[in-house]
Amino acid sequence: MPIDIHRDTATQRADYTIDQNWDAYTAEEHAVWATLFKRQVRLLKDRVVPVFLDHVDGLAMAGDGIPDFRRLNDILHKATGWTVVAVPGLVPDATFFEQLANRRFPSTCFIRTPEELDYLEEPDTFHDVFGHVPLLLDPMFADYMQEYGKGGLKADGQGALKRLARLYWYTVEFGLTRTPDGLRIYGAGIASSAGETVFALEDRSPNRVAFDLDRVMRTDYRIDDYQETYFVIPGFRSLMKATEADFTPIYARLDELPDIPSDAVTDGDHVLNFGTGKYHRERQRKTA
């Protein structure tokens, strides 16, 4: 297979960024975006926080092809001071945090193949752009992402990266929130996946537990399949408040406590749905 210019590390700069090379996308690559985009916009109506789809419109993301980062940034930078920068794939943790702390979002620019439409472990540009960028237009969430970057740099120096990675995972990637109209998705990992959009919100299999910072920082997660537990925040303001304290004493306290498995419900949990665990049990049986 020829190398994909959108995943080529040969041209990456010291900060791991590359040019998006928007002109180099093929019609087939744009068509993959269009297919995913149409499916998600339809599925997310009444399932995602309303501001998410407002911001998809606000960013002029079109259903017909992969957005040009230059066009996105014209709008995004004026609105909240954020910039999307292209990277060839996962970047080192410290680099990732450094970028976020400076209100730059490192986004992949390659897109999955038609054969990978439904599930992909690594982030591609549909996940990064469609999943993450709309909420960067929300002032409160935009600040949360920057604070997360700053917190990541600090945690890295304190041997607490694992704690912060879990917080990111269970909020930015797989978070659910209450709204006056019911439970809604805000996590990018859910919002960019057709299967998980329905699973996270409606399936009886996963646990849905009220967000608690200590609890989240102790909880393992899976990267290979849908989550076994989702954490529910009351809203973005509350998430900001819950995470504004200095985490240093929290890390010290948590180091005395055991980790919590990804499928567990614990004594202190405020449980919204006690999951049946059926989905993962059946998957296990099939692959055993």
Residues engaged in binding ligand HBI (CB under 6 A): 87, 90-91, 93, 96, 106, 108, 123, 165, 168
CB of 169 to ligand HBI, least distance (A): 7
The minimum distance between CB 119 and ligand HBI, in angstroms, equals 17
- Nearest CA to 44 out of 136, 131, 120, 168 is that of 131
40 and 130 Cβ atoms separated by less than 8 Å: yes
Contact positions with Fe ion (CB under 5 A) in 180-219: 188
CB of 27 to Fe ion, least distance (A): 26
Token look-up 């038609």 returns 114
Distance in angstroms (rounded) separating the CA atoms of residues 49 and 47: 7
Cβ proximity to ligand HBI: between 167 and 280 the closer is 167
What residue 106 binds from Fe ion, ligand HBI, none (CB within 5 to 8 A, per partner kind)? ligand HBI
Which run of H or E residues covers position 176?
Answer: strand 176-179
Supply the minimum distance, in Å, between the C-beta of residue 160 and ligand HBI: 11
Pick from Fe ion, ligand HBI, none: which does 67 bind, CB < 5 to 8 A by kind? none
* Partner whose binding site includes residue 186, from Fe ion, ligand HBI, none (CB under 5 to 8 Å by kind): none
Q: Crossing angle of helices 27-44/194-202, nearest 10°?
A: 20
Cα(247)–Cα(245) distance, integer angstroms? 6
By beta carbon distance, the residue nearest Fe ion is: 188
The least CB distance from residue 168 to ligand HBI, in Å, is 4
Any residues with CB less than 8 A from the CB of 208 and at least 6 apart, and which? Answer: 176, 183, 229, 230, 231, 232, 271, 272, 273, 275
Interaction site with Fe ion (CB under 5 A): 188
